[in-house]
């Protein structure tokens, strides 16, 4: 079985979507001749042509709106936004149009658009290219928000997203594109459920996206110290899979929520609130969060690393809950 990268897994998902449905097309900045800013769409223009792989002007507001219009017209567009930071320029069509259309039309119209964008820090590209804002979109009714953090999800989430009659946002962490492993052929992914990535019984580490590998590494470190950590990959940020979250917390009775976003108003805060509301009396220790420091992401590597969740911070938070 040949090794494949996360980047290649996303490319294979795009290729399969373009092959299987003539209504599907990919659009965004540099997705065609350049092959994608992160080389995800490399080779697809030669294979499918400029009608199916469309380079757009440098206007997130414009081309995201065009994608939404195409979806309303019966197409199945995949809109690529280069980075989540730039998606702020397209907030109006995403939030005010795509997310609200089914409600405001009384169910007469749906917007089957998939919007992919890169998120996350850790690559020394400074503050304007390093945010993790997927929690903003997870706040909005009418959107489905996905965060693939494994090769399986990178390969398998696109097909069910395209089959969804409503808008789906897929956040790909830039730090994962070079992640490599084996993937046995096409995979089916349930885009309604979280997934336990490591079983444990002492503390639940709840996370998503680029923090998943850190949480898994932290679980290994904790195991060496006699602490059994369960790792829950949220992977579906809206709607949150409360059943899986509560099951993990009630099993382990302690929880650390890891979120590569600022602590204030974070998705981690929402997860902690829901656990407090529904499983407070199942806890043996206060809930803990490991989030970004409350600063714009710095450029120097040592400061960037200090600002982000790291294995050491996750491990320390879990040990503190264990009374160590």
Catalytic residues: 60, 129
Residue with tokens 């042509």: 49
Q: What is the C-alpha separation between 318 and 132, in angstroms, rounded?
A: 23
Enumerate residues 6+ apart whose C-beta is below 8 A from 111: 68, 71, 72, 97, 98, 101, 102, 166, 167
Residue with tokens 């090794």: 3
Q: What is the C-alpha separation between 290 and 215, in angstroms, rounded?
A: 11
Contact 287, 275 (CB under 8 A): yes
Burial label for 281, CB within 10 Å (0-12, 13-18, 19+), is exposed
Q: What is the C-alpha separation between 133 and 91, in angstroms, rounded?
A: 12
C-alpha pair distances (Å), 146 with each of 127, 129, 171, 242: 23, 20, 6, 15
At 83, phi and psi to the nearest 5? Answer: -150, 150
Element (H, E) at 271: helix 267-279
Sign of CA dihedral 110, 77, 150, 13: positive
Contact 211, 259 (CB under 8 A): yes
């Amino acid at each position: 079985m040949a090794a494949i990268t996360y980047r290649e897994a996303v490319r294979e998902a795009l290729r399969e979507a373009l092959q299987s449905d003539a209504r599907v097309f990919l659009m965004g900045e540099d997705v065609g001749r350049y092959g994608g800013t992160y080389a995800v769409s490399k080779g697809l223009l030669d294979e499918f042509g400029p009608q199916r792989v469309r380079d757009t002007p440098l206007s997130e507001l414009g081309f995201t709106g065009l994608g939404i219009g195409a979806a309303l017209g019966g197409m199945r567009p995949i809109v690529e936004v280069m980075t989540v930071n730039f998606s702020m320029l397209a907030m109006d069509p995403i939030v005010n149009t795509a997310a609200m259309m089914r409600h405001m039309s009384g169910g007469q119209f749906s917007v089957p658009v998939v919007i992919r964008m890169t998120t996350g820090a850790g690559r020394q590209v400074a503050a304007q290219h390093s945010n993790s804002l997927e929690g903003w979109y997870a706040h909005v009714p009418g959107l489905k928000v996905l965060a693939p953090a494994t090769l399986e999800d990178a390969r398998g989430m696109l097909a069910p997203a395209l089959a969804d009659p409503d808008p789906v946002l897929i956040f790909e962490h830039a730090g994962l594109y070079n992640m490599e492993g084996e993937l046995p052929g096409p995979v089916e992914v349930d885009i309604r459920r979280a997934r336990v990535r490591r079983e444990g019984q002492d503390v639940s580490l709840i996370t998503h996206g680029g923090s998943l590998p850190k949480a898994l590494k932290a679980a290994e470190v904790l195991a060496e110290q006699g602490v059994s950590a369960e790792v829950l990959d949220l992977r579906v940020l809206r709607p949150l899979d409360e059943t899986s979250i509560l099951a993990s917390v009630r099993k382990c009775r302690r929880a650390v929520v890891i979120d590569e976003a600022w602590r204030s108003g974070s998705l981690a805060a929402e997860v902690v609130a829901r656990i407090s509301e529904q499983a407070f009396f199942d806890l043996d220790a206060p809930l803990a969060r490991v989030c970004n420091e409350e600063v714009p992401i710095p450029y120097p590597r040592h400061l960037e690393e200090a600002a982000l969740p790291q294995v050491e911070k996750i491990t320390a938070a879990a040990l503190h809950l264990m009374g160590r």
